[in-house]
Amino acid sequence: MTGIISIVLGILYLIGMMQIELAAIGHPHAPIYFPSALGLGMIGLGIAQLIKDKKISIHQYLNDETIPMILKTAGIIIIYAVLFVPAGYVISTMIFMFMMLYLFNGKNKIKRTVITTIIFSILVYVVFSKLLGVYLPVMPFIYI
Amino acid sequence: MDTLGFLMQGMGVALQPMNLFWVTLGGVLGTIVGMLPGLGPATGVAVLLPMTFSMGPEAAMITMAGVYYGAMYGGSRSSILINTPGDGAAVAATFDGYPMAKKGKAESALAISAIASFFGGGIAIIFMVFCANTVAQFALKFGPSEYFMLMVFALTATAAMSRGNMVKGFISMIMGLMISTVGLDALSGVQRFTFGIMELQGGIDFLVVIIAIYALGEVFKSFKNINKERVEMQTKFGKIWITKEEWKRTKWPILRSAPLGFFIGALPGAGGTMASLMAYNNEKQMSKHPEKFGEGEIIGLAAPESANNAASVGAFIPMLSLGVPGSGTTAVMMGALLMLGIQPGPMLFVQHPNVAWGLIASMFVGNIVLAIVNIPLAGLLVRVLAIPEKVLYPLVLGLAFVGTYAIGNSTIDFFLLLVFALVGYIMNKENIPTSPLILAIIVGNMMEQSFRQAMVISNNNLGTFLKSGVSITLFILAIGSVLVSIYKTHQDKKKFKKLDEKNS
């Protein structure tokens, strides 16, 4: 599959490159020299890999039992990204950690999941935000 | 000021009480993260990076060096006790370290790995003191065309290292260069591949890609083994030390492996894994009893441990003196420096001697601190290995997101993190190496700028890239690295063919 992926990536990249505006300073085409070499290089390498592989196989993806877990994790990450600023770090992280720990551990050890969630979210907030001065969003009105 | 004068100045920085505290804290946290299966120094440094955001450049670098060093120490702990290396550089420690633990010699194994790491690291730092400044002085003469060729060589060498898989190495490299082109073009101000998203104008931060591939990617990989039972681990230890006889047998292998590790570490892309495996094979070939290797031979643990710590120091040479990182971890550290507004490279020694020499001096201090922490407290630290992976990996994810947010204060980076974690998953499935991608993202911008500057200076004459002796040498080295890789792949195939014929 590497060959096909590389060729598609190279083509998409070249299409994206065509939308780059001409430069007002210096040579007008200077900003696309490097990208065009990269796009063409990627297609060339993709063809080389395709010839080397001789066949295209998607079996490694079809039989991969980890894909459902990866998709669920991706969903949880998207929820986290959406909640992060409006809900503040502590609340959104509690939701995220609980969902992740639940995904990994299931209904078993629910007590451990809850305790880990609460300790992690508060501890990281205190260490990073209060002790190390890293900016983390807070929830409106309750300021945590 | 001469080298020793600079070193003393650096010692003044490294020995400040607050910096001593940071190097110790970084070292302990690094040891813990490094011990966790699958999480090596690069992930450790990437995940713990936000710790340094409120520090000054000297303290930040010193803390990160402590994390790096600690992770190198820690990586072998899980190799010895549960036969699961923390990262590639600790793989060789499983060959004899785990058999030693199984034979009831876990104390000797833990002690010799820390002692060998201490001597390996110490010797390499001495080499570094004398090399770094010399290389930097030499690099001061580089113009844009020499810089461009240097980066071509670094990237080619890294991609070519993927023996038997070189085309995939180059695909990975081009992917990295493509990512580096996203954002405003530094020379013309034109937007490239931003698709109207304002947050992409500043480009894709390579730290986000590194965290995605190393931290999230490891978690994705772990899904496969999450329900597998773990190897039973020894939790109670006697005195963690070695006998006089064991020291006599290991001292020369340790001393021999350190310079080897240092020089391999200084090569772009080679890194600790190759250094430790080469040291292991060297000692096996030199041994009168090679059959004992793999059965719990202490030399088989001491030599790679010395070499991989020496390699971790060697990897700082290209990063500090040339501005081209030699390994994934030094790439993350370079990112940390850039975030603090400091450009690594030859001018670092001129403009920020406190940072450069403070870091080098802190390695001496950190090495001593870590030996002290890792030998008497090994029994305590390894208890971290008892944390179930089902708890551990969500924690790593949690830390990865704090780190990512701290870099750009934007949740757009969370989506980028997810996208690049999926890219890492596909790369893993397709057997595409990730280190060329990481290095390419970091040097991509500098490489393009050097290329265009050289073209402007030379009036668009491509011959400018082969004008000076340095450029020609770098070009020959780049071609050489590809040819050597092709030759070695050919040799490997021949070997396997012979083995197949023997077996059939």
Between B54 and A45, name the one with better pLDDT. A45
3-state SS class at B104: coil
Q: Which of A107-121, B12-26, B155-169, B184-198 has the lowest mean pLDDT?
A: B155-169
* CB contact at 8 A, B116 and B301: yes
Q: What is the pLDDT of residue B232?
A: 67
Cα separation, B400 vs B436, whole angstroms = 22
Q: What is the pLDDT of residue A64?
A: 82
Cα separation, B274 vs B493, whole angstroms = 19
Q: Residue A81 pLDDT more than 90? A: yes
Range 293-332 of B in CB contact (< 8 A) with A: none
Cα separation, B451 vs B147, whole angstroms = 8
Cα separation, A90 vs A137, whole angstroms = 9
Chain B neighbors of A135, CB-CB under 8 A: 406, 409
Q: What is the pLDDT of residue B38?
A: 65
User: What mean pLDDT do residues A77-88 have?
Assistant: 94
Q: Which of B290, B297, B348, B299 is nearest to B116 (CA)?
A: B299
Tens digit of each residue's pLDDT (9 = 90 or more) over B92-126? 898 999 999 888 888 899 999 999 999 999 999 99
* CB contact at 8 A, B417 and B397: no
Q: What is the pLDDT of residue B230?
A: 63
Q: What is the pLDDT of residue B231?
A: 64
Cβ-defined contact of A20 to B175 (cutoff 8 Å): no
Q: Best interface-test mutation with B: which of A14, A77, A123, A126 has the largest number of B CBs within 10 A?
A: A77
Chain B neighbors of A77, CB-CB under 8 A: 414, 417-418
Please provide the DSSP assignment of B366-406 as one string: HHHHHHHHHTTTHHHHGGGGGS-HHHHHHHHHHHHHHHHHH
Cα separation, B476 vs B416, whole angstroms = 37
Chain A neighbors of B402, CB-CB under 8 A: 89, 124, 128, 134, 136
Between B464 and B229, name the one with better pLDDT. B464
Q: What is the pLDDT of residue B71?
A: 84
Tens digit of each residue's pLDDT (9 = 90 or more) over B129-171? 888 878 888 888 888 899 899 889 888 888 887 666 889 999 9
Cα separation, B192 vs B184, whole angstroms = 6
Nearest CA of chain B to the CA of A24: how many Å?
7
Q: Residue B353 pLDDT more than 90? A: no
Q: What is the pLDDT of residue A88?
A: 93
Cβ-defined contact of A77 to B174 (cutoff 8 Å): no
Tens digit of each residue's pLDDT (9 = 90 or more) over B237-285? 778 888 999 999 999 999 999 999 998 888 766 677 888 988 998 999 8
Q: What percent of chain B has pLDDT over 70?
A: 96
Cα separation, B403 vs A142, whole angstroms = 24
Burial of residue A44 (number of CB atoms within 10 Å: 0-12, 13-18, 19+): middle
B198 touches chain A (CB under 8 A): no
B449 touches chain A (CB under 8 A): no
Cβ-defined contact of A35 to B192 (cutoff 8 Å): yes
Cα separation, B16 vs B10, whole angstroms = 10
User: What mean pLDDT do residues A97-120 have?
Assistant: 92
To 10 degrees, the CA torsion angle through B296, B302, B308, B309?
A: 140
Q: Residue B83 pLDDT more than 90? A: no
B312 half-sphere exposure, CB direction, 13 A CA radius: 33
Cα separation, B469 vs B475, whole angstroms = 10
As a whole number of angstroms, the longest Cα–Cα distance in chain B is 71
- Selecting from B220, B393, B452 the residue whose C-beta is nearest the C-beta of A104 gives B393
Question: What is the overall mean pLDDT for chain A?
Answer: 89
Q: What percent of chain A has pLDDT over 90?
A: 58
Q: How far is CA A64 from the centre of its chain?
A: 20
Structure tokens at A48: 């080389």
Cα separation, B227 vs B74, whole angstroms = 24
Q: H/E element holding B184?
A: strand B183-184
B415 touches chain A (CB under 8 A): yes
B213 half-sphere exposure, CB direction, 13 A CA radius: 26
B189 touches chain A (CB under 8 A): yes
Q: Residue B29 pLDDT more than 80? A: yes
- Structure ipTM: 0.92
Rg, chain A, Cα only: 23
To 10 degrees, the CA torsion angle through A117, A121, A123, A125?
A: 180
Tens digit of each residue's pLDDT (9 = 90 or more) over A27-71? 888 889 899 999 999 999 999 999 988 777 777 787 788 899 999
Between A88 and B77, name the one with better pLDDT. A88
Structure tokens at B219: 């978690």
Q: Which of A78-87, B180-189, B385-394 has the lowest mean pLDDT?
A: B385-394
DSSP B409: S
Tens digit of each residue's pLDDT (9 = 90 or more) over B360-382? 888 888 888 888 887 877 777 77
Q: What is the pLDDT of residue B324?
A: 80
